[in-house]
Amino acid sequence: MIMRFRRVDGQWTVEVICLTPTGSNRDGECFRVCHYGFLVAEARTIDELRDHVDLAELEESLAITRLRRTEEELRRQHVPR
Residue-level pLDDT at 70: 53
Residue-level pLDDT at 73: 58
Residue-level pLDDT at 40: 92
Residue-level pLDDT at 26: 65
Do the beta carbons of residue 24 and residue 11 sit within 8 Å? no
Residue-level pLDDT at 72: 57
Pick the closest to residue 63 from 5, 16, 17, 9 (CA basis).
5
Q: Per-block average pLDDT, block size 10, for the chain (81 residues)?
A: 79 83 71 90 89 85 52 57 50
Residue-level pLDDT at 7: 86
